[in-house]
Chain A
């Protein structure tokens, strides 16, 4: 079975070297988050992920969840692991100290999330969904609701869910039908059915707090008539402890391709008591607050699985002796060379590595921007950071999950037949990763979000947060003797991205189908260019350290960057051609002919 070792060295590189040592502690409210405080957090997180969560990954997958008499049982070991996890304070790290949280910067929390996803994605779903519910409730709930529910959600005693999807509507939430009837006491009665509810029912916590999208009787049609409600599994009693059972139950659980230890439930609401979160008919705003942070988190899932797969593949490629190097035996003392000598195996391993480290850096940029958005003293800087997060969120979600899946698949390929069988756990990463391209808005929806909403918003203002720093970096470093080698390919990809952006802005305004036809390729072009920028910056950070104590690390960094620029970034050329060809070949194709 694959083992997992948290990539703390690279995480520290991103956090302290690439972002800058005081990038976090210089923000008001974050003064305490210096390296002295963050390092132990990362090390403890690594420990619980490696020692508690990862050992349950494969057994959880084999065993799955079971539903009996409305009760969902998680796989063996999950209850104990969850207790260790919540008692260790890990449900609280990213939460508001006012409700018992630890208020860790997003940039740090994102790295912890990555470790959890690498170690055991299914397990991570439970606290992950709770956090989504926490974000909506914290942002939009009344003080009364927040005081009653947040402390227990933060300390992990209670968990949370987000109930959006219904049998007939997922992407198009305007169609949803769950009803909420106002009661005299200010509460509501909810009735309806929700599907695909992750962590909807389980045995890890004493209560489950559902956040449910529903319609009021007089609500306008479509998305403007949707409200958000809090519906607990058990209604809290006078002392705030779980009391009377509410009218919410799990009708069935789904049988899935992956994340089998995560319960995916059909939830029935039958006159269930609930309370309004935020204003009537403004549920989509509260939901999107959650959705945007969740989309970043899902991107991190792709990264986490790719990292785990990379580790498994490298370990195997070093050990597996088979045949000889094409250029003659590299290990004549052994009966055969390890397969790591082969160019194609190296191609796969370096592809995984280049994507993983590039995505980690990109994710940190977004997470750090969120910290700036929430804590920077200057309003304009906060606005700029918010713009950038809005722009990069769909890119991160789709790019990191698509590349994560590609990387997980390559990792399995490195093992050949041994990757295909369950024993090594490599095929599980592929299966577990597959959902990340689908949920929280499919990657096709992410691409539409990018070209249809984010690109035209404020006459393209969001784009500035990416294009300006990259252009400035290129102008400043293009001629640099050592760095130029990496900046020049970045500049080429960047010009393609600029031209494609202009093309889509021009044609997409008159013909929305053209923007739609370009969207997925454009998002990938954007993402690969963003990774090129991250790689060039990582080289810049590494160049003068290659002869130091940790020289090997930096030389590997630069080597990976060179592989990325020479072997992966040229994909942008093909994507550019595809985008510029337009969508006629798809849209002119007769519908009957499919």
Chain B
């Protein structure tokens, strides 16, 4: 078997159902089975119920509602024969060895030869799972450990046993990489694998050290959080999120399986405060509350647990002078002469040392450990990157001074960094003590690598243009949050001229967490506040002109978004010849949320897309209605699949599941367009003018009467209706792109002067939330 065309997941709990949904997201049919409910009735109720729940869940496990249709639900008594068609069977049932083994025997009886069987266990060693099973089964068996939620967490830990065929691992890993978009990290068959082994150590150390030092949870989270690039949930808020009751399972398996010499036992001791919380049902956000809670009986007061008394008290603002004084220096924080500085070191010193100890035990190499923590725990930096930040020599000395045993890899490193850049190539220290190049898999191209070994072709404060080889250039946003400002437009204009001269094609792409959050609103609001209307109009006109130049450039342009592409960041997608989107792309024209309308051609392009579609009823109104609905409600596609439904992505556009493969895919798409490239023909619109405007306004008035639209929604929608209806025209005339862009610009300028729009922008900037005025 070399490809996986159908998958089965057994066990429709949170993990199993989530894995099935994500397989469906990849466009692969999947069978989801669970047991027949003991209480009788619908024999498929458990799996059916799981799919129904997922269709309503937020964040959504499905990338589009349509994906759910790829799931066939059933039960393990009536439908086990369905496994015979599956190339990969994922077991995600309760963590009980006897149940799993009994299931494996039944699976083995029906599965097709060569199909891969894997377990999603997080606590049972592979060796134990296979005890008593045939060698033939063992050859096709491995552990595939997904993280929750499976759609969003990019880490997949894969464990092969001594008898597992290399081919089986390769097929599953390749499928997980290309089709599911996961970053596969190979682990050894050790409890907790890599991420949880280190993660649980870290959490346990942070809890006991906080209790021993008498710290409050707010300060602890402020220390073991942002300062080290760890999400602001830190330790205690993270435990609330994952559930306090999950910890004892992994801790139990680690306690049982790890040898007495393992450093885990040094920090593994009962924590009565936490045990009592779990016993009383305070298991975190899913329970009655956790280390933090919102007290509904006290006017929704924010409270936190006092770690000493175990009682709730009012939440405090973290106040950690050590963090402020250390600035960006982690070493200064670890060395800070205070209880907080001591805590930072007491937690992170042993944690980072433990990461070192895992080399050769849980993982073959350090980059796997870093990747596991980055993607499994959302650390910005892996543990070895953190050690490099303080310096391996400094870290080694401090560890020795603290009396902590020195892990072998540190001795081997002898003060050298774990990562270095040689001749523009990133290298990593191997377990043998020698540096080796970090090699990307085939089909992975990272701008970060290109930046290490070359200089930008063009650059200013907000953007850069890079040569990514084979005659393709890459335009990168570099501003804060990749917001678009006049400098971005300036460099985009220059880049178009340069690409025309020196390159064959252009890709618009970056490696920020978001492609672009849109125009720099702070700048726009400030300009509006000082009544700099001429400048604002110039910004709008310049954006329109630059995007148009991009659209009609004599070379192909491919936009490759990932994360958020909103407002002006969405409009640039609309002006590309093609889009190659990461599956996790969140995009839409959200301008009305801040009291404006898309003014950089967004209205015009969306109208052109829906008019060209040809699957709507005849006449101009259906397309106008669609675009009006999408823009006037600030609809955001919450995946690339949803972006297809909104026609932001057109039929020829592509979706890449794995974030690391996006640039290579986009580049390939651009190169494919080069031969015989012709810029698009400008669209011509036949629009009804005033009659359409009246109809749209009536619809909005209706929403206002129902209380679904606010007074200012009416103003903004009215301006939008004015554009989409074509202004002063009627069906006997045509309107060209210029005409519509003028209408966009005029409407924008009217709205940006409106105090209620300015109030919306200000509210968005201050709170990050839309104002419903």
A117 CB, min distance to chain B CBs, angstroms: 33
Residues of B within 8 Å of A334, CB to CB, are none
Cβ contacts B522-540/A at 8 Å (1 or 0 each): 1001111111110100000
Task: From B525, B530, B535, B766, give the contact of A467 (CB < 8 A).
Answer: B530
**CB within 8 Å of B: which A20-64 residues:** none
Indicate if B765 sits at the interface (CB-CB under 8 A). Answer: yes
B735 to chain A, nearest CB (A): 29
**Chain B residues, Cβ within 8 Å of A470:** 531
Tell me the complex Cα distance, A471–B753, Å.
Answer: 11
Which residue of B526, B761, B765 is within 8 Å of A505 (Cβ)? Answer: B526
When the two chains form the complex, which single residue of B529, B755, B765, B766 contacts A463, counting CB atoms closer than 8 Å? B529
Please report which residues of chain B, range 200-223, place their CB below 8 angstroms from some CB of chain A when the two chains form the complex: none
Q: Is A593 an interface residue (CB 8 A)?
A: no
Q: Are A458 and B762 touching (Cβ within 8 A)?
A: yes
* Smallest CB gap from B529: residue in A: A460
A-B pair count, CB < 8 Å, reads 43
> Most B CB atoms within 10 A — which of A460, A468, A502, A505?
A460
**Does A142 lie at the interface of the complex (its beta carbon under 8 Å from any beta carbon of B)?**
no
Q: What CA separation (Å) do A467 and B526 show in the bound complex?
A: 11
B532: chain A residues within 8 A (beta carbon): 498, 502
Distance from B184 Cβ to chain A, minimum over Cβ atoms (Å) = 42
A-side interface residues, number (CB < 8 Å): 16
Contact A459 B529 (CB under 8 A): yes
Report the nearest A residue to B531, measured CB to CB: A471
Q: Is the CB of A467 within 8 A of B533?
A: no
* Segment 464-517 of A: residues with Cβ below 8 Å from B: 464, 467-468, 470-472, 498, 501-502, 505
Cβ of B531 and Cβ of A468 under 8 Å apart?
yes
Secondary structure at the B interface, as helix, strand, loop or mixed, is: helix
Asked if B30 lies at the interface with its beta carbon under 8 angstroms from chain A, I say no
B530 touches A501 (CB 8 A): yes
For residue A459, which residues in chain B have a CB less than 8 angstroms away from its CB?
Answer: 522, 525-526, 529, 761-762, 765-766
| B317 CB, min distance to chain A CBs, angstroms | 12
A461 and B762 alpha carbons, distance in the complex (Å): 8
Contacts of B527 in A (CB 8 A): 502
A523 smallest CB distance to B (angstroms): 15
Cβ–Cβ < 8 Å partners of B755 in chain A: 380
Write out the residue numbers on chain B whose beta carbons fall within 8 Å of the beta carbon of A498.
530-532
* Residue numbers in B under 8 Å from A501 (CB-CB): 530
Residue B758 at the A interface, CB < 8 A?
A: yes
Closest residue of chain B to A474 (Cβ to Cβ) is: B531
Residues of B within 8 Å of A502, CB to CB, are: 526-527, 530, 532, 535
Contact B758 A464 (CB under 8 A): yes
A502 to B486, CA, bound (A): 13
CA distance A380 to B762 in the complex (A): 14
Residues of B within 8 A of A467 (CB): 529-531
Task: With both chains docked as a complex, state the minimum distance between the C-beta of A536 and any C-beta of chain B, in angstroms.
Answer: 16
Do B529 and A461 touch (CB < 8 A)?
yes
Chain B 317-348 per-residue mask, 1 if CB under 8 angstroms from chain A, else 0: 00000000000000000000000000000000
Q: Which of B510-559 contact A (CB under 8 A)?
A: 522, 525-533, 535
Q: Select from chain B the residue with minimum beta-carbon distance to A465.
A: B529
- Bound state CA distance, A505 and B532, in angstroms? 13
Give the contacts of B607-646 with A (CB-CB under 8 A). none
Chain A residues near B526: list those with CB within 8 A: 459-460, 463, 502, 505
Rounded to whole Å, the gap between the CB of B104 and the closest CB of chain A is 61
The answer for the CA separation of A472 and B761 in the assembled complex, in Å, is: 21
Pairwise interchain contact A471-B533, C-beta atoms closer than 8 A: yes
Interface string of B736-755 (1 = CB under 8 A from A): 00000000000000000001
Give the chain A neighbours of B758 by CB distance below 8 A. 461, 464
Q: Which residues of chain A come closer than 8 Å to B529, judged between CB atoms? A: 459-461, 463-464, 467
Q: Which of A389-407 contact B (CB under 8 A)?
A: none
Measured in the bound complex, the distance between the Cα atoms of B527 and A498 in whole Å is 9
B525 contact set on A, CB distance < 8 A: 459-460
From residue 443 to 463 of chain A, which have CB atoms closer than 8 A to chain B? 458-461, 463
Chain A residue contacts of B528, Cβ below 8 A = 464
Nearest neighbor of B532 in chain A, beta-carbon distance: A498
Chain A contacts for B530, CB-based, 8 A:
460, 463, 467, 498, 501-502
Complex CA–CA separation, A501 to B530 (angstroms) = 8
Would you give the shortest CB distance from A561 to chain B, in whole angstroms? 23
Closest Cβ of chain B: how far from A522's Cβ, in Å?
13
Complex Cα distance, B532 from A60, in Å, reads 51
CB-defined contacts of A460 to chain B, threshold 8 Å = 525-526, 529-530
Tell me the smallest distance from the CB of B316 to a CB of chain A, in Å. 13
**1/0 contact trace for B290-330 toward A, CB 8 Å?**
00000000000000000000000000000000000000000
Bound-complex Cα distance A472 to B765 (A): 26
Chain A proximity of B568: nearest CB distance (Å): 18
**Contact (Cβ within 8 A) A458 B531:** no
Interface of B with A (CB < 8 Å)?
522, 525-533, 535, 755, 758, 761-762, 765-766
Shortest beta-carbon contacts, A-B, top 6: A471-B531, A460-B529, A467-B531, A460-B526, A467-B530, A463-B529
Q: A463-B529, A468-B531, A502-B530 are in contact. List 9 more A-B contacts (CB 8 A).
A: A459-B522, A459-B525, A459-B526, A467-B529, A467-B530, A467-B531, A502-B526, A502-B532, A505-B526
Interchain Cβ contacts under 8 Å between A and B, 22 examples: A458-B762, A459-B522, A459-B529, A459-B761, A460-B525, A460-B526, A460-B530, A461-B758, A463-B526, A464-B529, A464-B531, A467-B529, A467-B530, A467-B531, A471-B531, A471-B533, A472-B531, A498-B532, A502-B526, A502-B527, A502-B532, A502-B535
